[in-house]
Amino acid sequence: MASDPIETRKSTEGMVDYNRNSSAQQQHAIMQADHIRRLVGKLSRVEPELRLVDYGCGPGMSAIETVRPAIEAYRAQFADAPIAVCHSDQSGNDWNALFELVSGPDGYLSGNGPPRVEAAIGSFYDRLVADNSVSLGTCFFASHWLSHAVRLDAPGTVLFNDLQGAARVQLAEMARRDWVTFLRHRVAELQSGGYLLVSALGSVPDAAEANGAAAAGRGIYRAMQVVAQSMADDGMLDGDVLNGFVFSLWFLTEAEASEAISGDPVLAAACEIDHLAVTPAPKNPDDLFKDEIGDPAEYARLYVGYTKAFADSTLRTQLFEPSAQTSEVADDLADEFYRRLDALYRAHTDTYACEIWHLTVALRRR
Ligand SMILES: C[S@@+](CC[C@H](N)C(=O)[O-])C[C@H]1O[C@@H](n2cnc3c(N)ncnc32)[C@H](O)[C@@H]1O
């Protein structure tokens, strides 16, 4: 079994039916609006233009809801000041879907003097825009994806939270390095006095967990592990492939997030922490789809849709395709996986509830 990370692929290859199945992300972007307005309110008029960059923007409405409050808050202070909005993501993002939304009735281009719109394509673990050019950077629900896909000695789990021993140490080190790399690039891109607002899934201390912390969404990943293991036991998935598979994700605790910043000489010198906290989601923090618990079929449908939206490409490239001879067989494996996941949620409902904690970090460039 592989025990060294194989750093070959992107950690995400695209999101499936994202706009329809990303209500949590859309709520989250709306929830950050006051925070965004507060930060924009601290900016002076920027010449020649205010530049907003949304990193890991995705293809959906949340990308619009992320920049809208910044545009409104800046326009409220400087009515005629030019604004540039830069949406940034990997090449595989559904850019057509995004720009249809941007220019559609719910977009932000109507009215006088609409912002100049641009895109920056690439990984946020690299430099994406010019140094000293960003007034406000945002990154929502994206920076918890690590820079590369990994394979580890990870029997019994598909989530970092349940890793043990050397595999956990290896992934924790990669997560710390990635977080620092991501921030170093963003801080270099910020103008002096500019802000970076990052919000991602987080973890909280929990003495009942083997590793002393509970990760957001642990229920969903444990449900996926149960389903994948049942398919391996039935000879449908390759057991070695499953034992080496782990999602390339890490949800930082408050301590991990802040110690990486204060312990890095470049970051400590270049920026100050304006805000850093891990907090429960304001709505249904203990079960994302709690409102539907009385209807197990609907509850399961929502959980399967949500899981597919963020996990399908990873499962396909790292679990189904390596277990299959042909792409048709990989498709059949995917269908069977989601059928079993649906059945699991119908039968056990909130045993696998998705709890949500958000890590929110605002940094100011000195
Ligand atoms: C769950 S979506 C979040 C989209 C949006 N920000 C939101 O809040 O709904 C995660 C996004 O992060 C992007 N992403 C993941 N890793 C990335 C990387 N290394 N560089 C740039 N974008 C990345 C994915 O392509 C995807 O669009």
Residues 62-81: pLDDT tens digits?
A: 999 999 999 999 999 999 99
Write phi, then psi, for 276 (nearest 5 degrees).
-155, 115
Higher-pLDDT residue of 18 and 215 is 215
H and E: helices and strands count for the chain: 12, 9
- Nearest C-alpha neighbor of 250 from the set 167, 128, 345: 167
Instruction: Quickly name the fold that domain 5-365 has.
Output: Rossmann fold (3.40.50)
Ligand 1 touching residue 217 (CB < 6 A): no
Q: At residue 10, does pLDDT exceed 70?
A: no
220-255 pLDDT tens trace: 999 999 999 999 999 999 999 999 999 999 999 999
Burial class (CB in 10 A: 0-12, 13-18, 19+), 174: buried
Q: How far is CA 55 from CA 38, 96, 334, in A?
A: 19, 17, 29
133-175 pLDDT tens trace: 999 999 999 999 999 999 999 999 999 999 999 999 999 999 9
| Å from CA of 124 to ligand 1 middle | 9
Most informative mutation of 10, 12, 354 for ligand 1 (most atoms within 8 A of CB): 12
Q: At residue 111, does pLDDT exceed 90?
A: no
Answer whether 360's CB lies under 8 Å from 258's CB.
Answer: no
Q: At residue 199, does pLDDT exceed 90?
A: yes
Domain boundaries defined on the chain: 5-365
Q: Which two tokens stand for residue 306?
A: 């949500």
Ligand 1 touching residue 141 (CB < 6 A): yes
How many CB atoms sit inside 10 A of residue 232's CB? 18
- The protein residue with its alpha carbon nearest to ligand 1, atom 19, reads 123
How would you list the strands of the sheet with 357-365, edge to edge?
116-121, 83-89, 50-55, 134-140, 190-201, 357-365, 271-280
Q: Considering the entire predicted model, what is its pTM?
A: 0.93
Return the pLDDT at 16.
60
Ligand 1 touching residue 125 (CB < 6 A): yes
Q: Which two tokens stand for residue 317?
A: 């490239």
| Å from CA of 40 to ligand 1 middle | 23
| Å from CA of 34 to ligand 1 middle | 22
Ligand 1 touching residue 182 (CB < 6 A): no
Return the pLDDT at 175.
98
